[in-house]
Amino acid sequence: MAAKPIWNYIPPALIALNTLLVAENWYLRPQSARVWFVVLLVLSAMTLALALVSREPKEGATRRDAGGSVRRGIVTAGLILAISLGAKLAMALAAVHYDDIALRATMAIGGAFLAVTGNAIPKTLTPLATLDCDPAKVQAVQRFAGWIWALAGLAVAIAWLTLPIHLGEAMSFLLLPSAILVTVGQAVWLRRAKPSVL
């Protein structure tokens, strides 16, 4: 029996850490019981998703990719929750006096997630037999979308780490819808483009 890679232990560790953070926050601030209950529901859903992915057989490449995507999603959500809950706990213990730390860190992680996702877009291989368009154009659109999302994600992360909150919000509301519109525009252009005839 082969040893599991360390990556397999990170999602359950983050779920356990977040459960402990919720318990501590709930103990220190019982007046926010509804919020803590909702977070526990989210953690339960993450645990269920992880259990389902772990039980599936790993013979197909598609299933391995799906399982990896679920684990990456759980790690991203787990990091966002851990930072947010940790900041709330630190404020409840009066260890930190800045109430915007959780928001800044959460948005910066969200931007980093978008940048990593953008980096993965061009590496996604679509079988050529299933394409109705020119494969070269599909690859060009995937590269362009990857650059758009990687740069938008980095810009959002940097904005939330360096700018005042109102400017970070403005940058997010400017960059993310713009990236969506450009990506959708490229997809529409690709669908309308005729395949090139050799």
Q: What are phi and psi of 131, to 5 degrees?
A: -85, 135
Return the pLDDT at 72: 81
Length of the chain: 198
Q: Which of 162, 116, 118, 115 is nearest to 143 (CA)?
A: 118
In this prediction, residues 142-146 reach a mean pLDDT of 87
Note the pLDDT tens digit of each residue in 163-179. Answer: 998 998 999 999 989 99
Instruction: Look up the pTM and report it.
Output: 0.62
Separation between Cα atoms, residue 116 and residue 147, nearest integer Å: 10
Domain boundaries along the sequence of the chain: 1-96, 100-198
Note the pLDDT tens digit of each residue in 76-134. Answer: 888 888 888 888 888 888 776 666 777 888 888 888 888 888 888 777 766 655 666 67
Q: Give every CB contact of residue 189 below 8 A, 6+ residues apart in sequence.
A: 141
pLDDT category at 62 given cuts 50, 70, 90 is: low
Out of 55-64, 91-100, 189-198, pick the least confident: 55-64
pLDDT category at 24 given cuts 50, 70, 90 is: very high
CB atoms closer than 10 angstroms to residue 51: 10
- Mean pLDDT taken over the chain: 81
pLDDT category at 66 given cuts 50, 70, 90 is: low
Separation between Cα atoms, residue 198 and residue 180, nearest integer Å: 33
In this prediction, residues 137-158 reach a mean pLDDT of 88
Is the pLDDT higher at 116 or at 196?
Answer: 116
Return the pLDDT at 197: 47
